Amino acid sequence: MAAIPPVCDFDWPAVDAMLPGIDGRTHRLFDLAGPNGLVVAFICNHCPYVKVVIARIVRDAADLEAHGIGFVAISSNDATTYPEDSFDNMKLFARRHGFGFPYLYDETQDVARAYGAACTPDFFGFNKDLKLQYRGRLDASRKEAGPADLRRDLYEAMVEVARTGKGPREQVASIGCSIKWKDAA
């Protein structure tokens, strides 16, 4: 079922956390920020919305690095119910798609809850002070990839953040599969 996150809560402070990465190291989120900001992306391996744009996510993360923006992806889905999202499958997914950024596992789902993540993909773009400036879509793709010349919403917004410290006032929410929460039992 598709989920749509809320609009950007400008200047909301990023939440720090320590999470295991597919590279065998534990990463502190704040250490992954570039000199001009950080994108925290909640994704997973099985979501059709993620699968259709993963090459664009990898491209934009690499392109943002040149603007001093760090990038990290986090999978918070319940891997017991959705085995395709397991830690081992995260490694395969990242390798297959050539991730140049850390891919972290939020097994407890505490980080997703702290961020209020709603769907995959869900993008949080922070400025150099780690204050939220973008909570929107990658581009206008949905379950099918849009044309190659689509406006790169996340990329353009984060270039503006790198340059000015502020995100665009007009933002279009991302859409994707809902986070697969563990039973609260």
- Each residue's pLDDT tens digit, 165-176: 999 999 999 999
Number of domains within the chain: 1
pLDDT tens string 124-160? 999 999 999 999 999 999 888 889 889 999 999 999 9
Asked, for residue 31, whether it belongs to a domain, the answer is: yes
Q: Write out the residue range of the structural domain in which residue 144 sits.
A: 2-178
- Whether 185 maps to a domain, the answer reads no
Residue 94 lies in a domain: yes
Decide: 73 and 29 in contact? Cβ < 8 Å: no
* CATH number of residue 123's parent domain: 3.40.30.10
pLDDT of 144 reads 86
* 118's tokens: 């709603």
Contact call for residues 178 and 154 (beta carbons, < 8 A): no
Q: Which residue has the tokens 């400036």?
A: 133
Question: Would 184 be classed as within a structural domain?
Answer: no
Is residue 16 scored above 90 in pLDDT? yes
Residue 48 covered by a domain = yes
Is there a domain that residue 106 lies in?
Answer: yes
Judged against a pLDDT cut of 50, whether residue 42 lies above it is answered with yes
pLDDT over threshold 90, residue 185 = no
d(CA 94, CA 160): 28
Mean pLDDT of 32-41: 98
Average of per-residue pLDDT across 16-32: 98
Let me know if residue 183 belongs to a domain: no
pLDDT > 90 in the chain, percent: 90
- Average confidence score pLDDT of the chain: 95
Q: What percent of the chain has pLDDT over 70?
A: 98
Structure tokens at 149: 């010349």
Query: Which pLDDT belongs to residue 1?
Result: 60
DSSP state of 12: P
